[in-house]
Amino acid sequence: MNKLSVKERAQIIHMLVEGNSLRATARMAGVSRNTVDKLLREVGAACQEYQDKNLRNLPCKQVECDEIWSFVGMKEKNVPAEMKGKDVGDVWTWVSICADTKIVPCWHVGSRDLDAAVDFMTDLADRLSNRVQLTTDGHKPYLQAVEAAFDGEIDYSQLIKIYDAPKWKTEGRYSPSECKEIVKKPVSGEPDLALASTSYVERQNLTMRMSMRRFTRLTNAFSKKIENHMHAISLHYMHYNFCRKHNTLGTSPAVEAGIMDEIKDIKWIVEIADSMASAPKKRGPYKKRAKQAISN
C-alpha cells in the first residue's frame, strides 16, 4: 500500500491547521479526501495521547477558562427525536489557558452541563504544579466544578459581562450585543480582582475559529462526526502549544512554559504519530477458542 512521505503528510497537516477544510486540503495536496480524513484521525489520536502525557506539572500562576460553541451534524434545534443522544447537535469545547505562558493545559469536548464542567476542572487541577488564580465567566456549573476539583485550594473569581438586548430585535439584522457592564466577583480564596480577566481565553476562541474550518460559522464545513471533531481540536492544540510562534512571546507556549527547549516543526508531529503507530500494542488476555463439533 502506498504511503505518503513525511514531507507530504506535514504539508497536509499544515494546510489543516491553517484553517482549510478536508476537501480544500485534498484538492491542494492532490490526494483523495479519504486520505486527508485518515491522516487527521491518525495524527489527531496521537496528538491527544501525547499532550495528555506531557502537559503535566505546569508552572501556571493565572489561568482563564471559557467554553466555545460548535455543532456536529446539525444544530441542536434541528435534531429529530430519534437521533437525540447520538453524538449530533450542539457541542461545547471547554478551554483553559495560562495567562503568562499562553499554553493551553487542557480542553474538554462535550455538553455545557455540570458533569462536563467537573470533568474539565478535574483534568485541569491534575495538570497544575501549584496554586493558581482562576478566572471564568458567570456560567453557574463552574461554581460546583471548581470546588469539587480544587477543594478550596485556589484563588477563584468570576468575570460577568452584562449585555444589551440583541440588536436584531430592533435593527432587523444580526449583530452582536454590546457589553454594557463588567462585574468582577471573588468566589473563593483571595483572588486579585485587578488580574481577573478572560481576555486571553476569548482570544484563544477566536484563534480556534480561524484555525479550524469546522468552527467557522454560517458554512457547511461543520463536523459530521464527533470523532473527527475531537481529532481536529487535538491537532490544533498540538500545533498551537508546540509548533506555532506566539507573536507576544516570540516563541511557542511550550517553550515559554519550560516543557520544550525549542519550537517544533510540523514534521515532528508526523514523526510522533508514526512512532505511536509503530509502538507494540499491549496484548489482552489469551482466550481459547471453543471447540467445534466435527461432523462426519
Give the tens place of pLDDT for each residue, 206-235. Answer: 999 999 999 998 888 999 999 999 999 999
What pTM did the predictor assign? 0.89
Q: Which residues pair with 173 in a beta bridge?
A: none
Low-confidence ranges of the chain (pLDDT < 70): 1-2, 167-176, 280-296
Max Cα–Cα distance, the chain, nearest Å: 87
What is the distance between the terminal CA atoms of the chain, rounded to a whole angstrom? Answer: 43
Domain boundaries along the sequence of the chain: 6-276
Give the tens place of pLDDT for each residue, 144-174. Answer: 999 999 999 999 999 998 887 776 666 666 6
In the structure grid, which three cell numbers stand for residue 257, read together?
512554559
Tell me, what's the pLDDT at 14? 97
d(CA 175, CA 169): 10
Which helix (H) or strand (E) is 39 found in, with range? Answer: helix 33-54
Q: Please check whether the domain covering 6-276 is classified as CATH 3.30.420.10.
A: yes
**Which of helix, strand or coil describes residue 96?**
strand
CA distances from 108 to 23, 54, 65 (A): 26, 17, 11
Task: Give just the sign of the alpha carbon dihedral 257, 252, 217, 22.
Answer: negative
Tell me, what's the pLDDT at 150? 97
Backbone angles phi, psi at 77, to 5 degrees: -65, -20
Tell me, what's the pLDDT at 295? 39
Tell me, what's the pLDDT at 296? 35
Residue with cell 491522516: 39
